[in-house]
C-alpha cells in the first residue's frame, strides 16, 4: 500500500480545535481530485484560484491594476483576464507587480472565509502557489499532492493538449513535485489509482482527528 508520510508532531485534537489544512501540488498533480473527494465527505474547501477571480472584481484591485498597466486592460470597467495575461505571461517584472496587488486581496478573502468556518474542526485551503506566494502562514498543516515526473508530464500533455516540449516548459517553470513534497507535513501520492489516493486521504483525516504523535 502507498505510504502516507507525516513529518510533524501534532497537537492533541479536541472539539474546540480548528485546523486549517493547505492542499497544494505542482501542475497536473491532481489537487482537484483530492479536493473533490473532501467536498464529497462534507468538508469545506476554500478555493484560492476562484478567489483570485473574485479579487479581480474588487474596485481597489481594478484601480491599482489600471494605474500600473493602463486602462486598456479594462473592458466595460472589468479587468480583461486575457489582456492582463498577455502583459504578465513571460514578463517577470509585470508578474511581480500583479502578484503584489492581487495576493493581499486573495489573502484577505481567505482569512474572511476561514473566520466564517472557524467552528468546523477541519477546513481545507486548495492553493497551487502556497509556498511560492508565501501563503503558508494561513494554514497549520500542509498536504502536498505528489505524482511521479513521467505521470505528471503525461497527464499535462493529455489534459491541456500540449506537446512534450510545451508541457516540460510549464512544469519547469514551477517548483518541482519533489521539492514541494519535502516541505509538506503530509504527502499524498496520486500517481496510481484513485482508490489508493482516497485511502491515503482517509488515513490523513484519521491522523488529524486522533492527534497522532508518531509516524507510522
**pLDDT per residue over 122-141, tens digit each?**
999 999 999 999 999 999 99
Specify whether the CB–CB gap between 56 and 79 falls below 8 A. Answer: yes
pLDDT band at 205 (very low <50, low <70, confident <90, very high): very high
Q: Which domains does the chain have, with CATH numbers?
A: 18-43+120-206 (3.40.50.300), 49-119 (no CATH)
C-alpha cell at 9: 508532531
Give the residue among 9, 39, 31 at the shortest CA–CA distance from 197: 31
Specify whether the CB–CB gap between 79 and 62 falls below 8 A. Answer: yes
Region 67-76: mean pLDDT is 95
Asked if pLDDT for residue 69 goes beyond 80, the answer is yes
Q: Record the pTM.
A: 0.85
What is the separation, in whole angstroms, between the first and last Cα of the chain? 13
Q: How far apart are CA 27 and CA 25, in angstroms?
A: 7
**Which pLDDT does position 212 carry in this prediction?**
54
**Which pLDDT does position 210 carry in this prediction?**
83
Alpha-helix residue ranges (DSSP H) falling in the chain: 31-40, 48-55, 59-69, 81-88, 92-116, 149-160, 164-172, 177-183, 194-210
Asked if pLDDT for residue 3 goes beyond 70, the answer is no
* Residue percentage of the chain with pLDDT more than 70: 90
From residue 130, how far is each of 67, 141, 145 by CA, in Å? 27, 12, 12
**pLDDT per residue over 152-169, tens digit each?**
999 999 999 999 998 998
**pLDDT per residue over 31-49, tens digit each?**
999 999 999 999 999 999 9
Neighbours of 193 (CB within 10 A): 10
Amino acid at each position: 500500500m502507498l505510504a502516507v508520510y507525516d513529518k510533524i508532531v501534532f497537537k492533541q485534537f479536541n472539539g474546540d480545535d480548528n485546523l486549517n489544512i493547505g492542499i497544494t501540488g505542482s501542475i497536473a498533480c491532481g489537487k482537484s481530485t483530492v479536493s473533490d473527494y473532501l467536498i464529497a465527505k462534507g468538508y469545506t474547501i476554500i478555493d484560492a484560484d476562484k478567489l483570485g477571480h473574485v479579487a479581480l472584481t474588487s474596485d481597489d484591485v481594478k484601480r491599482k491594476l489600471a494605474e500600473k498597466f493602463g486602462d486598456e486592460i479594462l473592458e466595460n470597467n472589468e479587468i480583461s483576464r486575457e489582456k492582463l495575461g498577455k502583459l504578465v505571461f513571460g514578463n517577470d517584472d509585470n508578474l511581480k507587480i500583479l502578484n503584489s496587488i492581487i495576493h493581499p486581496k486573495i489573502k484577505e478573502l481567505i482569512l474572511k472565509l476561514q473566520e466564517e468556518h472557524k467552528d468546523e474542526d477541519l477546513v481545507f485551503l486548495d492553493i497551487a502557489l502556497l509556498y511560492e506566494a508565501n501563503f503558508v502562514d494561513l494554514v497549520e498543516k500542509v498536504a502536498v499532492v505528489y505524482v511521479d515526473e513521467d505521470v505528471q508530464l503525461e497527464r499535462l500533455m493529455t489534459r491541456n493538449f500540449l506537446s512534450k516540449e510545451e508541457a516540460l516548459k510549464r512544469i519547469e517553470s514551477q517548483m518541482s513535485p519533489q521539492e514541494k513534497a519535502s516541505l509538506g507535513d503530509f504527502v499524498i501520492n496520486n500517481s496510481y489509482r484513485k482508490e489508493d489516493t482516497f485511502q491515503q486521504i482517509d488515513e490523513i483525516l484519521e491522523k488529524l482527528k486522533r492527534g497522532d504523535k508518531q509516524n507510522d
